[in-house]
Amino acid sequence: MRDFSADHRWLSINTATVRKQRGIDLPLPDILEACAQRGIRAISPWRDQVHAAGLATISKLVKTHGFELSGYCRGGMFPAADAAGLKAARDDNRRALDEACELNAACLVLVVGGLPGALAGQAAHKDIALARSQVTDGIAELLEYARAQAMPLAIEPLHPMYAADRACINTLEQALDVCDLLDPVSAASTAGPRALGVAVDIYHTWWDPKLQAQIARAGEQQRVLAFHVCDWLTPTTDLLNDRGMMGDGVIDIPRIRGWVEDAGFAGYSEVEIFSTQNWWQRDCAEVLDTCMARHRSAV
Amino acid sequence: MRDFSADHRWLSINTATVRKQRGIDLPLPDILEACAQRGIRAISPWRDQVHAAGLATISKLVKTHGFELSGYCRGGMFPAADAAGLKAARDDNRRALDEACELNAACLVLVVGGLPGALAGQAAHKDIALARSQVTDGIAELLEYARAQAMPLAIEPLHPMYAADRACINTLEQALDVCDLLDPVSAASTAGPRALGVAVDIYHTWWDPKLQAQIARAGEQQRVLAFHVCDWLTPTTDLLNDRGMMGDGVIDIPRIRGWVEDAGFAGYSEVEIFSTQNWWQRDCAEVLDTCMARHRSAV
């Protein structure tokens, strides 16, 4: 297991971590500047932040600063209530993939979506099996497009509390079953990263009694494409925006990182914290400095 | 699948559903009276409600009204930070079991506990594997005591969002693995309910991609001891106390009930709703009447 205690060379900042400080949207170029000043080598930006600044501008800044992208957030949201919705999702995912390529991301992260309409509070139906079927179909279609551009797709299993409205892939086992179905590993193709893999986010997966075994399974197939960290607070006061800084919660982060590295992952540890009441109420500088310190002490 | 549309003979009320209306604790005898007036045949009371009224009083009222108990809430909370804590949990669980026997409950429901101290916001450690090990040990010990009194134990897998502070058994598969370990089914013992089984609560399990398969597995071993219903709201505004009334959320309840009945379960459908902002702000009568109506129309 790599020693993170001396530096932050393997730290990546998911830019949602400092997206809106004290109610004011922080422009992505400012976030990149603040990361560059601190010698942070990698980022993972969100599409809306990129769009607000302009893809060309961000692409240029990424090159200027020499950033790597540990991932690009995000594609997915495949299920829809009708054919028009499915087509709109397909088209938008292709645009997301094009952007990931332009930014030379390590992977396009997929938050696959749940019941159509549920995120707006009006689910079109209650058939989660149908949603899951649409997710599989959507990934299959995007995978063809992604293979042609050599951009890996990383399915991110989301915590089961998001099954209705954000992602109906909720365990690593389930995500890997989809990988096996759509991107089978032949004996001849075991070297190198897969076209389809997973993003292991400890916030979403830490509770899973099968986590260690499924990380090992992912490793056997070179499917660990990204590793995301934050912490689970007790109590957690909001289902979405009360994530903790590493070390402030109950997740045994080094243990899980050890499993992920045993599985062959040697990339960045990406910090992704949504925190309306705490970290989004502080200066960007303080948040980034804390991420760096906790990366060394608690990851 | 049984037809629930014409009556509510298979409705059970978990008494937490009307525990505190508009901020005032409702005495359990009043809840029982309101249920009896409506021809509700079964209840599942919580220990604190029973203790407040007195076990002897409740035992007598249960007999007077002719109630069945679809379960008794609850034993569990096995993990502890030290030997004294483990012993206190053991002793308290034996008392819970004695009470369940006195009330002639169908089973003692087990909410197994999580990281010691986490419920109070101060986890003693981050080793969820250790907590799970203590849970298995605790159930094993209680099972001996329970067998002697012929009181079935029902492990209730709780939603993964409670893994830290309430229950580190979070899927039906995991619960059934514990059952297999501690109460193996021999060829000679396949008839009748098990000494150790599960409570299937759709709020905790609806998201699980393996739910249908695991319910079938439970059925093969006669392990479905209880069936709890409410609904998952979108959005859900509180991790604990924002459960929905059946029909108001996104769970396909009849589909899951069908699986449970295919697995041989023919008992009560127990309504258990914690709802600070909505159902706990209404009159007990309105809540019970709504439970009866939704039992017929949405379960």
pLDDT tens readout for residues A97-119: 999 999 999 999 999 999 999 99
Q: What is the pLDDT of residue B188?
A: 55
Best A119, A122, A125, A128 member to test B by mutation, with max B CBs in 10 Å, is A128
Q: What is the pLDDT of residue B234?
A: 98
Q: What is the pLDDT of residue A186?
A: 76
pLDDT at A187 over 70: no
Q: What is the pLDDT of residue B185?
A: 87
Search chain B and give the residue with CA nearest A236: B239
A168 in helix, strand or coil?
coil
Query: Is A239 within 8 Å of chain B by CB?
Result: yes
pLDDT band at A188 (very low <50, low <70, confident <90, very high): low
pLDDT band at A122 (very low <50, low <70, confident <90, very high): very high
Query: Is B74 within 8 Å of chain A by CB?
Result: no
Q: What is the pLDDT of residue A189?
A: 58
| Longest Cα separation, chain A | 52
Give A209's contacts (C-beta < 8 A, 6+ positions apart). Answer: B132, B170, B171, B174
pLDDT at A191 over 70: no
pLDDT at A190 over 90: no
Query: Is B252 within 8 Å of chain A by CB?
Result: yes
Search chain A and give the residue with CA nearest B116: A250
Separation CA B171–CA A180 (nearest Å) = 23
pTM of the predicted protein model: 0.97
Give the phi and the psi of residue A12 in degrees, each rounded to 5: -120, 145
Subunit contact B159:A159, Cβ cutoff 8 A: no
pLDDT at A192 over 80: no
Kind of pairing, strands A11-14 and A42-44? parallel
Question: To 10 degrees, the CA torsion angle through A201, A207, A213, A215?
Answer: 0
The whole-number mean pLDDT for each consecutive block of 10 residues of chain B, a chain of 299 residues, reads: 98 98 96 98 98 98 98 98 98 98 98 98 98 98 97 98 98 98 77 86 98 98 97 97 98 98 98 98 98 98
- Please list every residue in chain B whose beta carbon sits closer than 8 Å to the beta carbon of residue A232: 164
Best A250, A251, A256, A257 member to test B by mutation, with max B CBs in 10 Å, is A250
* Least CB–CB distance from B164: residue in A132, A168, A232: A232
* Least CB–CB distance from A123: residue in B121, B161, B234: B234
- Shortest distance, CA B198 to any CA of chain A (angstroms): 17
Q: What is the pLDDT of residue B189?
A: 58
Count how many pairs of residues, chain A against chain B, have C-beta atoms within 8 Å: 86
- pLDDT tens for A204-262 read 999 999 999 999 999 999 999 999 999 999 999 999 999 999 999 999 999 999 999 99
Give the phi and the psi of residue A109 in degrees, each rounded to 5: -80, 135
Question: What domains are there in chain A, each with its CATH number?
Answer: 11-298 (3.20.20.150)
